[in-house]
Amino acid sequence: MKTIAYSSPFVPAEWITAHGVRPVRLRPDPAAAARLAGPLMGVCPYARAFVGKAMSLPDVDAVVLATTCDQMRRAAEWPGLAGGRPVFLMNVPATWQTPASVRLYRDELDRLGRLLVRLGGREPSRARLAEVMEDYDVRRAALRGMLGTLTARCASEAMARFDLGEEVVPNEGAARVVTRGTPVAVIGGPLMSADTGVFDIIEKAGGRVVLDGTENGTRTLPTPFDRRRLRDDPMLELVDAYFGTIPDAFRRPDTLLYQWLGREPAASGARGIIVWRYVWCDMWAAGVVRLREATGLPVLDVDVSGDEAELARAANRIQAFLEVLG
């Protein structure tokens, strides 16, 4: 089976699977970035690491990047990114309230579908797409149910396994949810594989992560599918569940994100917010002050570059933040 590597939550895994191709949503490791030549200053460490990881995987047949951030859009041109493999840059519109933007997103899925067919996949029938979506929906519901029983780190790792297409079963050895400590939300951009360590850092410092609003957390899960609409027009439902509902900082206007921020941190009982972002990430950097204004909660802005020294500095700041929150 052919394999597609991608990173953005706006790339529906169902669509790829329905074509008979395996979707692999990568969480790169920081070391992957170190292998790359090319500019360093100003380049997002995550984008570098993603490119490095994608280049190093021998069993990937194509790489999909999304235009949801300028750095990832431009990473599609990184010399040698694909090593002769197709690189697909998916236009995910920043606007979302017009029929034209919805149509563009849908057209881009069709274009991705044509690439999948060229790679050897098969165009799915309506029934096949609905069947795959239903399967994902069931498994995603199980994942959602399981997340609340795990520590933040284990939950994040469970989501990473789900994104890799691996079976996610309750692991008896997994640490159970922490019930004591200062409740905080972690919100922001994408995580690299080593970044799940931040959840441990928070818990060791006396905190408790009650909401994972990173790009790899529950914030970017598509809404559960409407079963009736799924049968009537699965593609329409797929577009609506992803493009119509996922809140993110790049969307214009960013109303969905601030609706989510008005709802979820309060519902989770978070007493503070840790913004987790990579240096040069403008979208989340610009949101820090607004986030404080919108939620009324104390906010700690943690910008990381992926190296260990940075993580140690971040740990100190997180510890201080939690002390202040009491």
Partner 1 sequence: MSGPPKRLTMEELDRLCRNRQAAGAAMPGYVGPLARHVKAGDRRLLRLRYDDSPAALRLWSFLLTEEERLHEARAAGKKIVGTMKDLGTVPVMAYALPNLVAFYPDGAWWTPCVMELSEGLFGIAQSLGLGDAFCPVRAMAGAFVNGAHFPIPDLLTCSVGATCDDFSAIAQRVESLGHPILWWEVPSRRRPDPGEPAVVLPGGFEAPASQVALVRSELERLRAALAELAGLPLGEAELAAGIREANRVRTILDELRRLAYMAEPCPMPALEMLIAEMLAIHFCSDRSESKAVLSELVDEVRRRTARHEGVSAEGAARLFWVNPVADLRVMNLVEDCGARLCGTEYLFCHALDRIPEDLPPMEALARMALADPMVGPSADRARRIIEDVRAFGAEGIVISRIPGASHCALEGAVIGRAVQDELGLPVVELEVPPLADSMWPNLKTRLEALVETVLAGRVR
Among 242, 250, 260, 276, binds partner 1 (CB under 8 A): 250
297 binds partner 1, rule: CB under 8 A: no
259 binds partner 1, rule: CB under 8 A: no
Residues composing the chain: 326
285 binds partner 1, rule: CB under 8 A: yes
State how far the Cα of 41 lies from the Cα of 101, in Å rounded to an integer.
33
Among 200, 233, 282, 310, binds partner 1 (CB under 8 A): 282
62 binds partner 1, rule: CB under 8 A: no
* Helix count and strand count (H, E) for the chain: 14, 8
81 binds partner 1, rule: CB under 8 A: no
Do the Cβ atoms of 25 and 53 come closer than 8 Å?
A: no
Main-chain dihedrals φ then ψ at residue 46, nearest 5 degrees: -65, -45
Among 56, 131, 236, 280, binds partner 1 (CB under 8 A): 280
Whose CA is closest to 135, among 237, 244, 225?
225
Of 75 and 146, which CB lies nearer to partner 1 in the complex structure?
Answer: 75
Whose CA is closest to 186, among 80, 267, 277, 257?
277
89 binds partner 1, rule: CB under 8 A: yes
Of 76 and 246, which CB lies nearer to partner 1 in the complex structure?
Answer: 76
Among 109, 238, 283, 302, binds partner 1 (CB under 8 A): 283
Cβ of residue 250: shortest distance to partner 1, in angstroms?
7
State how far the Cα of 114 lies from the Cα of 109, in Å rounded to an integer.
9
Among 107, 135, 166, 232, binds partner 1 (CB under 8 A): 107
State how far the Cα of 101 lies from the Cα of 236, in Å rounded to an integer.
14
Cβ of residue 263: shortest distance to partner 1, in angstroms?
18
Number of residues in contact with partner 1, rule: CB under 8 A? 45
127 binds partner 1, rule: CB under 8 A: no
DSSP strands (E only) in the chain = 3-6, 22-25, 62-66, 87-90, 182-188, 207-213, 272-278, 299-304
256 binds partner 1, rule: CB under 8 A: no
DSSP strands (E only) in 236-298 = 272-278
Applying CB under 8 A, the span of 14-22, 90-98, 177-185, 212-220 interacting with partner 1 comes to 90-98
State how far the Cα of 153 lies from the Cα of 147, in Å rounded to an integer.
10
Sites of contact with partner 1 (CB under 8 A): 38-39, 41-43, 67, 69-71, 73-79, 89, 91, 93-95, 98, 100-101, 103-104, 107, 111, 114, 249-250, 252-254, 279-283, 285-290
